[in-house]
């Protein structure tokens, strides 16, 4: 079994999709072994506890520099034998030390069809607001490997979702999660862990 850490910053809906897939055989070679939250008190930590998965909180503001934070993250992951990292709505930036420790082993889910509406500043509802402002008829989600460029790594999976005329950022976000993110994130993790 490939040991996987899921990094979260909020409610953990993508974490739940991975936990469900794991429970029902959707990622047969992966074990969700650790959940790391960027702050205490987020609902994703409750999801981890309910699933019997160990969790930790590692907050960027508790470290004087990016380098110290990255060092602490690598130590935490290595101490749990983590082989693959999934960023599931994780809002802290990972630096070079973490990326170098897990080359082509850090996956991120992004709520658009990269290269649209991605990069620095595009996260959460901002992505869907931008898509609606632009008037696109199709959006979706992308799972990609993480490198030093925000949303710049090699694409693993994408899924398109229709944009409706009466969409709000919130309704579009919900549809993208349900129809794309929760589908392709477990599939991408399976693809990566099946080849290890």
Contact 138, 164 (CB under 8 A): no
Active site residue 128: no
Q: Which residues contact 3 (CB under 8 A, 6 or more apart)?
A: 31, 33, 34, 80, 81, 82, 83, 84
Choose, from 80, 110, 128, 144, the residue flagged as catalytic: 110
Instruction: Compute the distance between CA of residue 23 and CA of residue 125 in angstroms, rounded to an integer.
Output: 29
Instruction: State both tokens at 162.
Output: 């229709």
In this structure, the strands spanning 106-110 and 138-145 are antiparallel
In sequence order, what are the residues at sequence separation of 6 or more whose Cβ sits closer than 8 angstroms to the Cβ of residue 39? 9, 57, 59
**Of 27, 18, 33, 5, nearest to 102 (Cα)?**
5
Return the active site residues.
Answer: 110
């Amino acid at each position: 079994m490939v040991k996987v850490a899921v990094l979260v910053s909020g409610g953990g809906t993508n974490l739940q999709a991975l936990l469900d897939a794991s429970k029902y055989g959707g990622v047969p070679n992966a074990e969700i072994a650790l959940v790391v939250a960027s702050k205490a008190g987020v609902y994703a930590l409750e999801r981890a506890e309910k699933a019997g998965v160990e969790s930790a909180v590692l907050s960027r503001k508790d470290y004087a520099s990016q380098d110290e934070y990255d060092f602490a993250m690598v130590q935490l992951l290595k101490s749990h034998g983590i082989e693959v990292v999934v960023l599931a709505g994780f809002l802290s930036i990972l630096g070079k030390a973490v990326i170098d420790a897990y080359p082509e082993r850090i996956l991120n889910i992004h709520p658009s069809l990269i290269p649209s509406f991605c990069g620095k500043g595009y996260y959460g509802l901002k992505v869907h607001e931008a898509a609606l402002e632009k008037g696109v008829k199709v959006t979706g989600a992308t799972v990609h490997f993480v490198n030093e460029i925000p949303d710049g790594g090699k694409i693993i999976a994408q899924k398109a979702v229709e944009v409706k005329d009466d969409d709000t950022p919130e309704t579009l976000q919900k549809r993208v999660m349900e129809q794309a993110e929760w589908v392709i994130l477990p599939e991408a993790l399976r693809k990566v862990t099946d080849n290890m």
